[in-house]
Amino acid sequence: MFKTLAMSLAIVVVSSFSQFTQANEIDIHNPYKMVDQVASKTFSRIKREKANIEKNPDVLRDIVSQELMPYVDSKYAALKVLGKYYRNYPKEMVYEYINDFEPYIVSTYANALTYYNDQTVEFEPEKDFTNEKQVSVKALVKDSGKPDIKLTFIVRKNNETGEWRAYDMVVEGISLVSSKQSEFESILRQQGLQTVIDLIKDKSKQKIEITATK
């Protein structure tokens, strides 16, 4: 999904924001705590299953699906990526695209997690979000000997349930959802939504690999 190591590292941070917060339950009514707790739980599991991951990197798909995706609003992200083209296609095709978008995101995150190498993250202090419907959680990724990477996690509130879910990240000023929107736009304009569906299905099925260059 992302063409640079910096963006891949940003995805890694979703599962490793905090190495120190241990939480058995996720506080889905507090966007700051939710991000921290989900990340810590996912990171801890990756550490526990390191040996299995080295033998079979596809284990990362299970970890992402079980620990991370329940707190990612993949449907909203999918629709944001589709943008104005939403109205151009039958509902059945749009539903198919939305359903295929989540495994595509799972595969993307799993691939990005192969870049993990003990990076640390510093988050800004929690702010009052009482009357907010969307919150930007800012952080700095720190990697020894490399420049800090500025991140912002975009988290939105479900008006009906009051629960918070993440749907986007901004890496050094670049929105990842917007990046995918730009990438798919020419395909949507020239070839249509079915081509995008076929593309994300194909990428979702690709094997997760850990190589020496990572």
State the DSSP H helix or E strand holding residue 27, giving kind and residue range, or none if neither. Answer: none
Contact at 8 Å (CB) between 110 and 62?
no
Beta-bridge partner residues of 131: none
Q: Give the separation between CA 168 and CA 48, rounded to whole angstroms.
A: 27
Q: What's the confidence (pLDDT) of residue 118?
A: 63
Residue 133, φ and ψ in degrees, nearest 5? -105, -15
> Domain map of the chain by residue range?
5-205
The predicted pLDDT at position 100 comes to 97
Rounded to the nearest 5°, which phi and psi values hold at 30? -130, 110
Contact of 28 with 41, CB cutoff 8 Å: no
pLDDT of residue 46: 83
Amino acid at site 56: N
Distance CA 80, CA 111 (A): 22
User: Which one-letter amino acid corresponds to residue 75?
Assistant: K
Single-letter amino acid, residue 124: E
Please tell me the predicted confidence (pLDDT) of residue 22.
41
Indicate the length of the chain as a whole number.
Answer: 214
CA distance 63 to 208: 13
Q: What's the DSSP call for residue 118?
A: S
pLDDT at 16: 40
Q: How far apart are CA 172 and CA 72, in angstroms?
A: 21
Question: What architecture is domain 5-205?
Answer: Roll (3.10)
Q: Phi-psi region for residue 162, left (φ > 0), alpha (ψ -120 to 50) or beta?
A: left
pLDDT in tens, the chain (214 residues): 444 444 454 554 444 443 333 445 899 999 999 888 887 787 778 888 989 998 999 999 999 999 989 999 999 999 999 999 999 999 999 999 999 999 999 998 888 777 766 677 777 889 999 999 999 988 887 778 888 888 888 999 999 999 999 999 887 888 888 988 999 999 999 999 999 999 999 999 999 987 654 5
